[in-house]
Each structure stands twice: as C-alpha cells, then as structure tokens.
Amino acid sequence: MDIIKLDAIDSTNDFLKKLSKHSDVENFTMVLANSQTNGKGQRGATWFSESGKNVIMSVLLKNLSITNKQLFDLNVMISISILNVLIEYKIPKLSIKWPNDIMSDNKKIGGILIENTIKTDNSIISIVGIGLNVNQTNFSTFPKASSIALLTGLTFDVNQLAEDIRKEIYKNRVSLSTSNSNYWELYHQNLFKINVPSTFEDNLQNKFMAIIKNVTREGKLQLLLEDDSIVAYDIKEVKMLY
Ligand code: BTN
C-alpha cells in the first residue's frame, strides 16, 4: 500500500481526490503532509495544524461494500478505528463527539473529514481525511482543542501513528460488510455526552437543552427535547455547545 509524503500542500484530501481522478491510485494509498495551506474541516471550517507536529493524513478507500444509504457506516468505522489506536497508545478519557470528533475528556484532539464520490456504476470512492493533534502544545487560539502530547506529557512519532491508523482502518474494512460487527455499538458506547443533558444550538442560533439518545443509521443525531419529543437532526442543523 502506497504512502505519499508531502511537505506542504493545500489539502491532503484535495490532493488525493485530484490524483485519484487522473490516475489509477491503489486502494488504501495514504497521503501525509507536514502542513496544509487550506486544511479543510467539517461544516466548511478550516483545519489548522502547526507544521510537522501533527497527523495530517488522507486515505483512499474504494470498492467498499456499502451502498450510498450506508455512508455513515464509514464514519463510524473510521472513528472506532482511530479510537482503537489511541487506546493502544494509552490516551486517557477518549470519546467520539457526533458526528466524528475525537475527544479526550472535554477537549477535541482530532477530526475526520470524509469526502465521497458516487460513480456512475454506483460504486463509492471515499477520501478519508484525518487530522490528529499529536505533538503541538500551543492551542492559545483554540481553547477547546488539545493534543496527545499535552494529555500524556510524551511526544510521539507522527508517521508511525498515521501508519497505525491506516492499518487499523484496513483491518476494519471487512466490518463494513459484516452484519454482526459491533462498531455501531462501540460508537454509541463511546459517544460524548450520550444520555447527559447538554446545550445545543440550531442553525437559527437558538440555544436549547436536550439529551442525546441515539445516532441513526443515516448519521442523524436523535435528541430528546424538553417537551419529551425526539427529533433527529443532521449535521447542518445542530451543533453541541460544550
Ligand atoms: C473536522 O473539522 O473535525 C475535520 C478535520 C479534518 C482535517 C483533516 S487534516 C487531513 C485532511 N485534509 C484536509 O483538508 N482535512 C482533513
């Protein structure tokens, strides 16, 4: 499985997307960069990362045994794969904040941006982008962020960590097509603030209290509202304030 190491690039996701459009890129090819000039986050946000200190990676996945109705399965499998690796690295108090932020205690240490292309034959090509804060220790402008180094007091080999994550994703790819795999169960078990009253904000900036009950197969967040109704929100409709 190929690894492409870059110093600086606009976005490893965009780089891999363009490459796979113009050439036959091997499945599970990984692009690593020291820094990005236009790192992309969820909801159109920018992903910032100090040069050379963190995991900035994108992996190409093709021929997945999922339909376009099961695309969130991939988010769940990738989140669990990262969590499994970080458990091996003994990172404390890990959880997944819906849809797929990697948390330690109350701080975000990593994020995932999956970009899917559905081809004319209905097959899916996914670019799985992962940013993980590893050896960066200054987050003065990001009070809700932290890194593995800050949490453990240790420094880590960023390339090794990226390779360990890719291996775990490769191992877990089969679980996408297996009906008895437990990654959805693990996702819910590790879901940040599940069953805990929390504050949310809808896209009209209304703040409200609710309790996370579930994430649906389509990836919607099911909240129990104060009037006892249960409403499912998609990623563009709500965010958790924490
Ligand atoms: C998030 O907002 O939580 C998702 C962040 C994803 C960042 C990674 S860094 C590597 C890859 N390339 C990008 O441009 N974004 C993802």
Write out pLDDT tens, residues 148-194.
999 999 999 999 999 999 999 999 998 887 776 799 999 999 999 99
pLDDT at 25 over 90: yes
Q: What is the pLDDT of residues 31-63, one digit of tens each?
A: 999 999 999 999 999 999 999 999 999 999 998
Ligand 1 centroid–CA 43 distance in Å is: 11
73: left (phi > 0), else alpha (psi -120 to 50), else beta?
A: alpha
Atom of ligand 1 nearest to the CA of 45: 2
What mean pLDDT comes out for the span 215-232? 97
% of the chain exceeding 70 in pLDDT: 99
Pairwise pLDDT comparison (68 vs 53), residue with the higher score: 53
130 touches 91 (CB < 8 A):
no
State residue 118's pLDDT score: 87
Nearest to 192 by CA among 100, 126, 67, 113: 100
Q: What is the pLDDT of residues 108-157, one digit of tens each?
A: 999 999 999 988 888 899 999 999 999 999 999 999 999 999 999 999 99
State residue 147's pLDDT score: 98
State residue 81's pLDDT score: 97
State residue 89's pLDDT score: 96
User: Which residues, judged by CB distance below 6 Å to any ligand atom, belong to the binding site of ligand 1?
Assistant: 11-13, 36, 39-42, 45, 47, 56-58, 101, 111-113, 129-131
- Which pLDDT band, with edges at 50, 70 and 90, does 87 fall under? very high
Mean pLDDT over each residue of the chain, to the nearest integer: 95
Ligand 1 centroid–CA 113 distance in Å is: 5
Ligand 1 centroid–CA 46 distance in Å is: 8
Which of 32, 130, 134, 136 to mutate for ligand 1's pocket (most ligand atoms within 8 Å of CB)? 130
What span, in angstroms and rounded, lies between the C-alpha atoms of 214 and 187? 10
- Please give the DSSP secondary-structure letter assigned to residue 162: H
